[in-house]
Amino acid sequence: MAQYNPETHHRRSIRLKEYDYSQCGAYFITICCQSKQCLFGEINTGKMQLNEAGMAILKWYKELPNKFTDIKICENIIMPNHTHAIIVNVGADLCVCPDAEYNENVEHAPRQGEHAGSPLPRMLQWFKTMTTNEYIRGVKDNGWKRFDGKLWQRNYYEHIIRNDDEYLRIANYVINNPLNWEEDNLWTN
């Protein structure tokens, strides 16, 4: 592998330039395992069967709203080698979440020392760090399958959800992902 040279290696961001990811909005997120390693379970008759590692990933997904109180996790799925989630950032501006009950029951003020709205990259970095640390403990203590180098790919895929129709289309994709596993471009045998 060639050594990093800033003159020849240019890292291109896939983030939307000039977009404020801390603002209110819904985002479709996909995070992939390094080298497409299947570490979190398997698909059995169209349903995802999480192993212990997959359950640990799910635990940390559920922790995101506790750490970042201005977000809500909507539809999500942990697949054998990647995860999908719709994350709604309600931010400090009381934006409308697809779950109306959520809007009425959330305190929207940022924590002391926090900026209004959780910046998406910081939130996902926290998630990757927590899940990687737990996975490493699982390898040492419980014999989970080892991974090469890093648990997650360096980046992640993100899509800004712009309207209700798009939200419904993406939510259906997430929910039905195990049924379509063999057609998925992340499928490995």
Tokens for 120?
């998406």
Domain boundaries, the chain: 25-177
Per residue in 10-24, pLDDT tens? 444 444 555 555 567
Per residue in 126-182, pLDDT tens? 999 999 999 999 999 999 999 989 999 988 999 989 899 999 999 999 999 999 888
Q: What is the CATH number of domain 25-177?
A: 3.30.70.1290
Q: Collapse the DSSP code of 27 into the 3-class scheme (helix H, G, I; strand E, B; otherwise coil) and give the result.
A: strand
Residue 145 CB contacts under 8 Å (≥ 6 apart), including other chains: 37, 39, 53, 139
Per residue in 93-137, pLDDT tens? 445 445 444 344 444 343 333 445 667 888 999 999 999 999 999
